[in-house]
Amino acid sequence: MKERNPMQDLLTVALPKGRLLEPAAGLFRHLGWRCDLGNGSRQLLVTEAGTKGQGPSALRFLLAKPADVPVYVEYGAADLGIAGQDVLRESGRDLYEPLPLSFGHCRLVLAGPPDQRARDFRLATGLRVATKYPRLAQAYFQQQGLSIEVIPLSGSIELAPLVGLSDLLVDVVETGRTLRENGLVPLAEIVHCQAAVVVNRVAHRLRLAPIRALLAELEAADAALQSAAADTKTGGSS
């Protein structure tokens, strides 16, 4: 019998740098993959053969900036990836999103100084909004029937209303601590987000079997890790 080539059904997986990397890599480690990215390593691309399971016989992991993960997947440089839904919605990329995950929960909010709570934005003119999410911010205000000027920034969004660069901001918050420490308050929740698996649409059609098997394994791993975390939390509080 002809031996199976371990690279025969190799899939490439894009993982995001930053806060989502460890929980994302943890899913694959739970399944027996080493996924040697992060943890001080400078490697951006690693390939390894699998040892068990019904999924692909080999995986290639690439490490990218969060905003670049949807790009790698849409253009087929990666077959699938893990990214935050905030990044996915902002990117507007044409991707298949089959599996939301249990981590990376956050909220995209409209925020500003406390005195903005009483302001009627329908009467405002020249309203300026600073954000890393210009597409989502513009869509939100259009839904409200409001015209605004979006000021795109790449970081420290909370600074903008404090120095008069903008009236308001749109940004992702987890606990709201950064807003509070800078004297800002949330004014409206735009959308709730979490991490999700995304798949290249062509790869999903042409490589359905290994991708479907890997998705099933990831879903089971996510449920198992979520259950273990809940048990740990319950045990620690008893």
Q: Is residue 22 part of a domain?
A: yes
Partnered with residue 114 across adjacent β-strands are none
Does any domain span residue 15? yes
CA distance 59 to 76: 15
Is residue 37 assigned to a domain? yes
Q: Give yes or no: residues 116 and 144 share one domain.
A: yes
| Tokens representing residue 198 in the block | 């995304």
Residue 162 is part of which domain span?
A: 106-192
Assess if residue 53 is contained within a domain. yes
Same domain for 188 and 201:
no
Spell out the residues 6+ positions from residue 93 whose beta carbon is closer than 8 angstroms to its own: 70, 71, 73, 74
d(CA 132, CA 153): 5
Whether residue 100 is found in the same domain as residue 205: yes
Segment 17-31, tens digit of pLDDT: 999 999 999 999 999
pLDDT at 58: 94
Q: Do residues 223 and 116 share a domain?
A: no
**Whether residue 117 is found in the same domain as residue 81:** no
92 and 110 together in one domain: no
Q: Is there a domain that residue 209 lies in?
A: yes
**Single-letter residue type at 204:** H
**How many Cβ atoms sit within 10 Å of the Cβ of residue 54?**
12
pLDDT per position as a tens digit, 149-195:
999 999 999 999 999 999 999 999 999 999 999 999 999 999 999 99
pTM of structure: 0.89
In a domain, 208, yes or no: yes
6 located within any domain: no
Whether residues 188 and 198 share a domain: the answer is no
Shared-domain flag, residues 139 and 207? no
* Whether residue 171 is found in the same domain as residue 200: no
Q: Which two tokens stand for residue 10?
A: 């190799």
- Shared domain check, 118 and 43: no
In the block, tokens 């995304």 appear at 198
pLDDT, tens only, 30-81: 999 999 887 777 889 999 987 665 668 899 999 999 999 999 999 999 999 9
Q: Is the pLDDT of residue 1 over 80?
A: no
Q: Sorting pLDDT into bands at 50, 70 and 90, what band is 2?
A: very low
Q: Which residues of 134-153 are buried (b: 16+ CB within 10 A; e: fewer)?
A: bebbbbbbeeeeeebebbeb
> Does the residue 3 lie in any domain?
no
CATH number of the structural domain spanning residue 141: 3.40.190.10
100 and 44: one domain? yes
Asked if 89 and 155 sit in the same domain, the reply is no
Q: How many domains does the chain have?
A: 2
Structure letter (DSSP) for residue 235 = H
Q: How many CA atoms lie within 13 A of 39 on its CB side?
A: 8
pLDDT tens, residue by residue, 93-112: 999 999 999 999 999 999 99
Helices (H), the chain: 21-30, 69-74, 85-91, 134-143, 159-162, 177-181, 201-206, 208-237
